């Protein structure tokens, strides 16, 4: 129901704020999406692959931000973890990793396309289904090439990095854990916002708050 037009949502979406909020979490928070969502239109195997890819991605991106100045700072701190110094690169790596995760998810997840097909008129569903299958086959081939190529490169880079810079392994692990934790947690907060616009727009007496509804749908994409 989150993708309904304003007119259709007015007719059929009677959910309260919390129900809508939890529906967003189920689709966007990676732990819930991977292991708790059993009735969506995505392949469970693909979802697990995306989850595993996230780990290698966050490790590799954090490792890429370890420059000579970072190594020097670790030396100055006598190996102690300096969260203040590491924080900017943690933020940068988290943002980059989230964007790359969104791109690879676009290549592999099918739910949005299937939902659109189910909402079409019966006389064009078969034609659109064939078009979707052909299009998805191409996307899936690109996904697998991208997935195995970059997964291999990521783990190779991480292995070489840790073999050469043995004294920075703990710092790298801590940075990665914080980045992963941030990406897992931010969805609990960012998804509080769309409902603040969507629910009032649907409950408005004059039913004239379509602009609020469309803004909430844009915020759902974040």
Same domain, yes or no: 60 and 153: yes
Are the C-beta atoms of 56 and 158 separated by less than 8 Å? yes
Same domain, yes or no: 165 and 118: yes
Query: Looking at residue 112, what is its pLDDT?
Result: 79
- Does pLDDT of 184 surpass 90? no
Same domain, yes or no: 155 and 218: no
Find the distance separating the first CA and the last CA of the chain, reported in whole Å: 18
Residue 9 belongs to some domain of the structure: yes
Same domain, yes or no: 17 and 82: no
Residue 21 belongs to some domain of the structure: yes
Q: At what angle do helices 169-190 and 83-108 cross, to 10 degrees?
A: 60
Q: What is the pLDDT of residues 51-63, one digit of tens each?
A: 999 989 999 999 9
Q: Which residues span the domain enclosing 210?
A: 1-29+191-222
Residue 53 belongs to some domain of the structure: yes
**What DSSP character marks residue 39?**
S
Lowest mean pLDDT among 72-86, 161-175, 205-219: 72-86
* Residue carrying structure tokens 């940068």: 92
Say how far apart CA 164 and CA 201 lie, in whole Å: 57
- Number of domains, the chain: 2
Residue 171 belongs to some domain of the structure: yes
Same domain, yes or no: 112 and 58: yes
Secondary structure (DSSP) of 173-210: HHHHHHHHHHHHHHHHHHTHHHHHHHHHHHH-TT---H
Categorize the per-residue pLDDT at 83 as very low, low, confident or very high, splitting at 50, 70 and 90. confident
Same domain, yes or no: 52 and 25: no
Categorize the per-residue pLDDT at 28 as very low, low, confident or very high, splitting at 50, 70 and 90. confident
Mean of pLDDT over the chain: 88
Same domain, yes or no: 196 and 185: no
Same domain, yes or no: 201 and 181: no
Three-state DSSP state, 15? coil
Q: Who has greater pLDDT, 113 or 180?
A: 180
Q: What is the pTM for the complete model shown?
A: 0.81
Q: How far is CA 217 from CA 6, 9, 60, 191, 196, in A?
A: 10, 12, 32, 11, 11
């Amino acid at each position: 129901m989150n993708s309904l037009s304003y007119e259709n949502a007015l007719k059929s979406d009677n959910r309260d704020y919390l129900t809508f909020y939890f529906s967003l979490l189920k689709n966007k928070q990676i732990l819930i999406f991977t292991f708790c969502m059993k009735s969506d239109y995505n392949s469970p195997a693909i979802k697990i692959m995306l989850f595993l890819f996230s780990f290698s991605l966050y490790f590799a991106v954090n490792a890429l931000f370890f420059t000579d100045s970072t190594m020097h700072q670790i030396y100055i701190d006598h190996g102690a973890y300096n969260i203040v110094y590491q924080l900017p690169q943690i933020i940068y790596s988290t943002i980059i990793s989230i964007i790359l995760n969104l791109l690879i998810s676009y290549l592999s997840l099918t739910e949005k396309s299937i939902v659109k097909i189910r909402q079409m008129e019966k006389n064009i569903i078969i034609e659109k289904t064939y078009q979707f299958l052909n299009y998805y086959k191409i996307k899936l081939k690109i996904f697998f090439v991208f997935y195995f190529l970059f997964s291999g490169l990521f783990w190779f880079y991480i292995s070489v990095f840790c073999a050469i810079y043995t004294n920075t392994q703990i710092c790298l692990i801590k940075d990665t854990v914080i980045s992963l934790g941030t990406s897992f947690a931010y969805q609990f907060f960012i998804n509080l916002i769309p409902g603040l616009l969507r629910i009032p727009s649907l409950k408005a007496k004059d039913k004239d708050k379509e602009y609020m509804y469309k803004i909430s749908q844009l915020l759902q994409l974040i």
